[in-house]
Amino acid sequence: MGGVTSSMAAKFAFFPPNPPSYKLITDDATGLFLMDPFPHRENVDVLRLPTRRGNEIAAVYVRYPMATTTVLYSHGNAADIGQMYDYSGYGQSSGKPSEHNTYADIEAAYKCLEENYGTKQEDIILYGQSVGSGPTLDLAIRLPQLRAVVLHSPILSGLRVMYPVKRTYWFDIYKNIDKIPLVRCPVLVIHGTADEVVDCSHGRQLWELCQEKYEPLWLKGGNHCDLELFPEYLRHLKKFITSVEKSPSRRSSSRRSTDRIERPRRSTDCFEAPRKSTDRRERPRKSTDRPEKLRLHEYKFNNMDKLEKFRTSFDQMEKSRRSVDYHEKSRKSIDQQLERARKSVDWLDRIRVG
């Protein structure tokens, strides 16, 4: 049952561009991968990386000689390698999109940075946008010396985007709400106050749960896919990166020194007590960008049927659980009544014998 429900959630969560926005070709002279139709650049490596789940993902590494940190970027659910590396089933990457495939995908990208480019985890900033916040936080909790994390329009969990649940269910995906308290490095959260896809309350609540909070950026009037167009976005992001680059290395004698990824922790699927919201949901403001608004409308329209089906399935499961609880209580009540009747008969027997 869990696999079926997770598959339903995956169908709603992942929308690889079709057709992909690029093609991978091999240069006959050098044997290097090139991205068609994008021009070749000397400081850009195009890669194909194997994952532990048997897939191959496409990735891009951009060199900058003056950089002291490396940003490992995980894109949203409707983009491909135009933003640094693909998930399984996206672009020219093999396999199918799934929660656990994206975890293996970001591990493969991290392993490439470590082994091919000599990058240390204390010099890496993980950046996750939208659904990319899922693999970003899953890796972050297993890198104890990580420099920093950026969450751009992040989600509390997959189910919470679609349904205002107050606890974590075992079939939910990307349980960021349970993982963010385990991240031990500075975290910057960026979210638009008029986000019509992932409500701004997701970002606010994740920020409240951070161990090391950095000044968040709530972009007034910002939607889900336009935050990069705001001048404050680049200014604040640059300020954050400069700040964490100046901070001392996260290596210390009190922590065990290692550059390897820690083993994945056991799933945080246990039910949680309802958390109070840290933010009142703001009413979406009218967008001043008509093409963006039309694209978001098309996004929501094309997936309304899937959302309704998922909600119907969830409601049926919740009703079934409540029905089981009701019958269980009824059975206990009957057992108690029978036990009282039995004791009463025993009492009468003792009187009769006496």
The predicted pLDDT at position 264 comes to 53
Catalytic residue among 172, 224, 226, 236: 224
pLDDT of residue 241 exceeding 70: yes
For the question of residue 252 being annotated catalytic, the response is no
pLDDT of residue 275 exceeding 50: no
Model pLDDT for residues 15-29, shown as the tens digit of each residue: 787 888 889 999 999
pLDDT of residue 227 exceeding 70: yes
3-state SS track over the chain: CHHHHHHHHHHHHCCCCCCCCCEEEECCCCCCEEEECCCCCCCEEEEEEECCCCCEEEEEEECCCCCCCEEEEECCCCCCHHHCECCCCCCCCCCCCCHHHHHHHHHHHHHHHHHHCCCCHHHEEEEEEHHHHHHHHHHHCCCCCCCEEEEECCCCCHHHHHCCCCCCCCCCCCCHHHHHHHCCCEEEEEEECCCCCCCHHHHHHHHHCCCEECCCEEECCCCCCCHHHCHHHHHHHHHHHHHHHHCCCCCCCCCCCCCCCCCCCCCCCCCCCCCCCCCCCCCCCCCCCHHHHHHHHHHHHHCHHHHHHHHHHHHHHHHHHHHHHHHHHHHHHHHHHHHHHHHHHHHHHHHHHC
For the question of residue 123 being annotated catalytic, the response is no
Q: How confident is the model at residue 257 (pLDDT cuts 50, 70, 90)?
A: very low
Catalytic residue among 195, 202, 226, 287: 195
Mean pLDDT of the chain, nearest integer? 79
pLDDT of residue 38 exceeding 70: yes
On whether the pTM is more than 0.95, the answer is: no
Model pLDDT for residues 103-119, shown as the tens digit of each residue: 999 999 999 999 999 99
Catalytic residue among 130, 157, 201, 287: 130
For the question of residue 130 being annotated catalytic, the response is yes
Higher pLDDT: 337 or 57? It is: 57
Q: How confident is the model at residue 88 (pLDDT cuts 50, 70, 90)?
A: confident
